[in-house]
Structure formats: C-alpha cells, structure tokens
C-alpha cells in the first residue's frame, strides 16, 4: 500500500487521492507506516479525501485522521480510538494438567515473557507503559488531524465506537455520504 501511495505522489497525472477505508483496524505500527505515506502525499500538495466503508475504526481511523476531508455513511462504524495489548499465559491450564515449570534466571526480567508462568510485574509495567504511550500518540494524531485538543479527543475516544452520523456530530467525520460524494469532493479540492 505504501508503494501505491508513493507512486501517487510521483505521478503528475494524479491530482488528488480518495482513500476508501473498510477496516476494523490492526497494528498501530502498520497504521503509522501508512499514515506517514499519506502525510507525504498531502505534503506534495495533493488533496487526500477518505471515504469510509462499513467500518473505519481503530487503525482505520488512525490512517484517516489527517485527511483533508473524511466522508462516512450514517451507518459507518468508526472511532475506536484506543490501544490495547494482551499477553496470554497458560500456567493455570498447565497446572490443571499437573504440569509445572521452574527455572533459574540471571536478572529479575529474564524469562519475563514465558507463557508457562505468570507475567513478571516489571514486564507487565513495561507493556502497560507501551500501551499508554501508544494511546497518547493516537490522541495526538487525531487532535492534530481534526483540529482538536488531545483532551477533547480523549473525551470521545477511550476505545468507543461511533456511527458515522454520531462521528460527524463529534467532529471525527466531515461529511456524510458515500464514495461518489468523496470523489466529487476530491476533484473539487484539486480544482478539477
């Protein structure tokens, strides 16, 4: 996808881009890679209009937030501005089977990510810190893209999802409409 965006930046025959998003989200890292390419597109002077399909949430919203215009249908599911992390352990399941483990470590965190034991509190705090940092980054991205303060975004974020109609009222979406309307908007922004 990043390569396609780079080609759009370099192709003088492309005057604006409509990005159709139909995604419930995914990796924050992957979303940020895509967002960086879209920021380069905007820096090139080409308008970016997002058209949300049935869902553009979490990572889908992460990449949409900096668009020049965001279009959604009234029923689009969007938002889900939040980050979560999970690290499953199976020590309780193993103990029910009569399987137990032990070991020797050279530091307090050695083996801290083993599945067969409880999560080390030091590692748990590090993972939680990473999640909290990612959430703050997400709030900042949305705040910058939607011309809001991070505190304003936090009030409507916290992982909650919204319909497109609600998202428009909250300032997360600019217009209600489908792909055809987004294409007209992109052409208008490009002056064609």
CA pair distance 30, 60, nearest whole angstrom: 10
**Tokens 């909650």 identify what position?**
160
Do residues 158 and 82 touch, judged by C-beta distance below 8 A?
yes
Nearest to 34 by CA among 47, 21, 46: 21
Q: For the CA atoms of the chain, what is the radius of gyration? A: 21
Neighbours of 58 (CB within 10 A): 24
Q: Is 129 a catalytic residue?
A: no
Which pair of tokens denotes residue 190? 């490009």
Q: Which of 23, 31, 51, 58 is catalytic?
A: 58
Read off the tokens for 148. Answer: 């809001």
Give CA–CA dist 71/186, Å, rounded: 11
The catalytic site residues sit at 58
């Amino acid at each position: 996808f990043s390569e396609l965006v780079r080609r759009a930046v370099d192709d003088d025959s492309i005057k604006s881009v409509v990005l159709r998003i139909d995604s419930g989200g995914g990796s924050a890292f992957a979303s940020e890679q895509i967002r960086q390419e879209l920021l380069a597109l905007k820096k090139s002077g080409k308008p970016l209009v997002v058209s949300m399909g049935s869902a553009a949430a979490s990572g889908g919203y992460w990449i949409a937030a900096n668009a020049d215009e965001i279009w959604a249908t009234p029923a689009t599911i969007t938002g889900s501005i939040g980050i979560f992390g999970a690290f499953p352990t199976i020590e309780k399941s193993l103990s029910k089977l009569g399987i137990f483990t032990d070991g020797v470590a050279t530091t307090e965190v050695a083996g801290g990510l083993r599945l067969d034991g409880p999560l080390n509190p030091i590692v748990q705090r590090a993972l939680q810190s990473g999640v909290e940092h990612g959430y703050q980054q997400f709030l900042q991205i949305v705040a910058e893209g939607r011309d809001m303060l991070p505190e304003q975004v936090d009030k409507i974020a916290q992982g909650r999802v919204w319909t497109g109609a609600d998202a428009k009222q909250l300032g997360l979406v600019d217009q209600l409409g489908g792909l055809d309307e987004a294409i007209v908007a992109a052409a208008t922004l490009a002056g064609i």
